[in-house]
Structure 1
Amino acid sequence: MSEPTLEDNDAGLILAAEECPSEKFAGYHHFSPFDDVIIRKLSAHGPVLLRGGRGSGKSALLIESHRRMRANSSAFSVYMSLRYLPLLQSDGPEYIGHFCTLLSKEIAAELATQSHSVQFDFAEDEVELQISLAKLAKSLTKRIVILFDDAAHIGREKPLEVFFDLFRTLSSNTTSCKASIYPGVTKFGVRFDVFNDSTVIDISRSDVSTGGSYFSDVIRTRYPKLAQREIFSDRLTPDNFASLLGRAVVGNMRAFILACNRFDDKERISIPDVNACLLNMAEDYYWPLMEEVAPKLGVYEPLIEPASSVFEALVDHLSRAVRTNAKMIAQDRVTIHRNIVGQFSKIFEILEYLGFIAKREASRGMKSGGRGPVFAVNLCSLLEQVPSKRLTIEMIDEWIGAKPDLAEIHSSAATFNNIVLPPLAPENTLGILSKSIDVLAKSRAYPYGLTEDKILRLKSAGITTIQELANSSENKLKQIEMVGPATVKRIRDVMLQAIWM
């Protein structure tokens, strides 16, 4: 019996650009003029670090850069995902060996895909890799661009120092390295100066869409039905709908797509429907996200509880004026004194990485004195704490127009006084690897999960933990009854999303 095919609209797979089938990539992705500027920088000469949170669109930009360079033959580009478990579990020379072998294979595969007759000399260390890349550039008479995706894992910072040494070493007048990183990367190593040895580009998709059409364009491309005026109530337009969802998820593309998926079967959309969507996102997307991410944080896993407490205190602060009738509409952005952000730096990095908040300005003067960054808070969690929990057209206009005054948390504020940061171990393995494969089941924490049937089939083959699944070869998985190539890919994709977020 042939294995079942995956549905085209399988949200579990299309949430991650690196797992989107190449033939469907253009149909699922839209790039704005701002994105085009970033793509040109990724295609140009010179080392670049693309920085953004989970689901912010880093992979999509890297893949689109690779697609365009392939199409115009301006350079020989290689897109390489570093979602490779041995890289997470090694350091030093062992990491370098895995890295060089993996990159050599990817380059050889790309040469074959582009029908180049040139051979690439496999390398086992960075010196051999430098020599091989220089020979390849000379043979092709082209510069080489290497796009490293998922270079960083928030739970394992130590191996990053080795990666950035390699990133710096491989960058030359003929080879340009680009890599995606998350906002909290701090350990770049002693040889790598992040601002002198690279250009850092922050993905900051505006979550306030006054005068912009990015989210409307995404909906027209991916959800044409949701762009039709006739399905919306009189007081809600397609553009306001798109802008509100974009603002609600602070510009995070993965959360935006998940929100749009909730309206796929709607024949009519009104403000109460959007209200219900935002409240449901708070309950079954944002808070389960904390549960999902905890075992992936490694040494930072103890911070998940204080991160939840910091965020709850932040939302309470923003909604307090509405609860006391001092304001009609909750403030959705806040300036936090830099001393407080410094005290809870890793907490804010985790919240920003997960898309609970988004940094909008690096520093702004405060009425109460001092300076601090400005953060936008997701509207789903904010609406959940508004007393009426009712979305109005006035709130929509205020929030997408960025009209409410900024709230402030000054240096002596008691907002976070009751939050205690636990001590962190010097090193810790990723807890997700020892988890049972049961956690990969479709659930609120894992909306992209596996069916019960697939989990039972894996267990019958003696695969019971994430680590055992990661160590299982493709051939071993294919030997399981009713598991063919498409299902193997699905299982791998879900596993990688579980480990890498």
Structure 2
Amino acid sequence: MKPQQDDEADSGLILTAEECPPESFAKYHSFSSYDDVIIRKLSAHGPVLLRGGRGSGKSALLLEAWRRMQEGSTIFPVYVSLRYLPLLQSDGEEYIGHFCTILSDRVQKEVTDRGLGYNFGTASDQLSLQLGLTKLSQTIGRRIVLLFDDAAHIGREKPLEVFFDLFRTLSSGLTSCKASIYPGVTKFGVRFDVFNDSTVIDISRSDVSTDLDFFPKVVQARYPKLALRPTFSDRLSPVQFANLLGRAVVGNLRGFILACNRFDEHDRIGIPEVTRCFLEMATDYYWPLMEEVAPKLGVYEPLVEPAREVMEAIVEHTTRLVKERPRNIAQDRVLIHRQLVSHYSKIFEILEYLGFLARREASRAMKSGGRGPVFAINLCNLLDSVPSNRLTIEMIEEWIAGVPEPAELHVLGQTFQGVKLPLLPSEHGLAILDRPVAVLGKSVAYPYGLTKDMIGRLQGAGIATVDQLANTTDQDLDRIEYIGAAKIKRIRDTVYQSIWM
């Protein structure tokens, strides 16, 4: 393979833990005491499901658990990324065949890397895989922990039932299975009871008032300049800045990193600069995010427009008092009656997954009667709807502390009156796979996308669609002129971003 020759490909690596170079993982990732508790559970006996939205840190926790277990001598950890296109396009026995091959290869690689001198082989079916794991555990004298990343895809739910059947079957006294899933997964199959057959752990960092150290530590590790007091104006401290950005993106780490990137060229940061960042994030990150995700939602693609309407209605409702009365701080959380959340369940799942909202409480009593969950709203869209479009120090202090009482949306209210739910089609493939490779170009939706030159070279090699690109081997890509190791990695990362959630 040609040597690395495109250093700009590195710019997007830090956005996702699974694409971060192993030698840089510890440098770019910080874990709180709460994270340490989760990591210990990922290392312990018993099956665990790690649930969180896009960019919430699921992969980072799985990888850190894998790294820590490698340092011990009693556990044999195997991290398995299920970002494999045939898994998305298959079901039943075909899915099981692909799954067994992927896991067998990953186990063998781990055995080889650890120098254990054992030939695991390739299991062709569920039973032989299960027996092979048991034999391996007994031979090396270690408990096996399987960490499955990207096990669930919101736009292709049918294979999930097969996965969770495998997840349940492979779990034993010698083998512990852990997997990351997104909020709202319901396709567990008839043989998997999510609460009896696993421990579910929810990741949530949107309430910065409960942990004022996490985001400052992330900034210190990733952006040392943004942790220095001289970088900021007198009215804004580095700790306030980090926690405000963390609260603004409702704890979503990918959104947090993208927000921090906007301050790279700033020598001095004050409230006006942070205000500009929030407004720009609302315009060129959050709303374009829906456009990026739409073609990979499968049967749920028609729900993107209703999701936009629901989000706009929530923001309009929570900023109503600011517009009607001389009140200068908008409510940054909303308590929604459970019947409304149930009726628009998939829409709330999409909004949570994308980081527009974050569920803060599972159930709270409403003043008008009934109960419902409390959602934190991302501050970027919120500020964009405030009449002044301007942050104040009072807003910053109250939003970080979680002082304002949440707004309420009642079951008989009119807020969602104009939102109509379309009929969903039968399950089919992901629309993104049929799109031309040109959609992967640098854009608001794909800030770290492919250059025009790279797209032209791919098209010149006969690669016309995203599906064809995803199925092209690294060896075939390497044969294309001026495409070497760095560009191949960048292409792979962009394809992964376009297909997986």
Q: Same fold (TM over 0.5)?
A: yes
The answer as to 2:216 corresponding to 1:216 is yes
Deviation at 1:202, TM superposition (A): 0.3
Deviation of residue 497 (structure 1)? 1.2
1:384-395 matched pairs, under 5 angstroms: 384-395=384-395
Provide the C-alpha distance between the structure 2 equivalents of 1:210 and 1:361, rounded to a whole number of angstroms: 13
Alignment of 1:119 onto 2:123? no
- Check if 1:49 corresponds to 2:49: yes
Task: State how 1:476-491 maps to structure 2 within 5 Å.
Answer: 476-491=476-491
- Cα shift at 1:72: 1.8
SS in structure 1 of the partner of residue 209 of structure 2 = coil
| 1:329 counterpart SS class | coil
Q: Kindly state the Cα deviation for residue 357 of structure 1 after the two structures are TM-superposed.
A: 0.1
Secondary structure of the residue aligned to 2:325 is coil
Distance 2:430 2:3 in 1: 36
Higher RCO (C-alpha 8 Å, min separation 6): 2
SS of equivalent to 1:389: coil
**Pairs within 5 Å for 1:451-470:** 451-470=451-470
User: 1:29 and 1:403 mapped to 2: Cα distance?
Assistant: 30
Partner of 1:374, secondary structure, is: strand
Q: Give the equivalent residue in structure 2 for 1:37.
A: 37
- Partner in structure 1 of residue 176 of structure 2: 176
Would the aligned equivalents of 1:478 and 1:484 in 2 still touch at CA under 8 Å?
A: yes
- The superposition leaves residues 356-390 of structure 1 with CA deviations (integer Å, 9 ceiling, x where unpaired) of 00000000000011000000000000000000101
Residue 109, structure 1, aligned to residue 96, structure 2? no
Q: Give the AA of the match of 2:480.
A: I
| Structure 2 stretches lacking a partner, 5+ long | none
Distance 1:296 1:234, change over 3 A: same
Assess if the C-alpha contact under 8 Å between 2:206 and 2:376 holds in 1: no
**Residue in 1 aligned with 2:195?**
195
| Match in the other structure for 1:321 | 321
For 2:179 and 2:266, the matched residues in 1 are separated by 39
1:317 Cα shift? 0.2
Q: How does 1:3-402 map to 2 (within 5 A)?
A: 4-7=5-8, 10-209=10-209, 212-325=212-325, 327-402=327-402
SS of 2:374's equivalent in the other structure is strand
The CA distance in 2 between the partners of 1:264 and 1:451, in whole Å, is 22
Please give the secondary structure, in 2, of the residue aligned with 1:488: helix
- Asked if the contact 2:338/2:371 (under 8 Å) is kept, the reply is yes
Deviation at 1:487, TM superposition (A): 1.7
**Equivalent residues of 1:2, 1:482 under 8 A apart:** no
Contact 1:184 1:353 (C-alpha < 8 Å) held by counterparts: no
Q: Distance in 1 between matches of 2:400 and 2:236?
A: 13
Q: Flag the 1:482–1:3 CA change in 2: closer, same or farther, 3 A.
A: farther
Q: From the superposition, tell whether residues 412 and 326 of structure 1 become closer, same or farther in structure 2 (CA, over 3 Å).
A: farther
Take 1:60 and 1:163, find their aligned partners in 2: how far apart are those partners?
22
Distance across 2 between alignment mates of 1:304 and 1:102: 33
**Residue 453 of structure 1, CA deviation:** 1.1
3-state SS of paired residue (2:318): helix
Residue 122 of structure 1 contacts residue 132 of structure 1 at CA under 8 Å; is this kept in 2?
no
* Distance (whole Å) between structure 2 residues aligned to residue 373 and residue 203 of structure 1: 16
> Once the two structures are aligned, what percentage of the paired residues are identical?
66
Secondary structure at the aligned position of 2:212 is classed as coil
Structure 1 residues 11 and 364, CA, compared in 2 at 3 Å: closer, same or farther?
A: farther
Q: Structure 2: how far apart are the matches of 1:222 and 1:67?
A: 20
Q: In 1, distance between residues paired with 2:74 and 2:481?
A: 46
Could you list the per-position Cα deviations for residues 24-76 of structure 1 after superposition, in whole angstroms to 9, with x for gaps in the alignment? Answer: 00011001111010000001111000000000000000000001111123300
3-state SS of 2:322 partner: helix
Pairwise CA distance, 1:6? 2.1
Partners of 1:210 and 1:396 in 2: how far apart?
A: 16
Amino acid at match of 2:475: N
How far is 1:7 from its partner?
Answer: 4.5
Provide the C-alpha distance between the structure 2 equivalents of 1:402 and 1:11, rounded to a whole number of angstroms.
34
CA contact (8 A) 1:13 1:448 kept: no
State the alpha-carbon separation in 2 of the partners of residues 390 and 185 from structure 1. Answer: 38
1:397-428 deviation per Cα after TM superposition (whole angstroms, max 9, x unaligned)? 11111111111001100000111100011212
Determine whether 1:425 maps to 2:425.
yes
Give how far 1:486 is off: 2.3
1:125-165 CA-to-partner distances (Å, cap 9, x unmatched) read: 10000110011001110000000000000101100000000
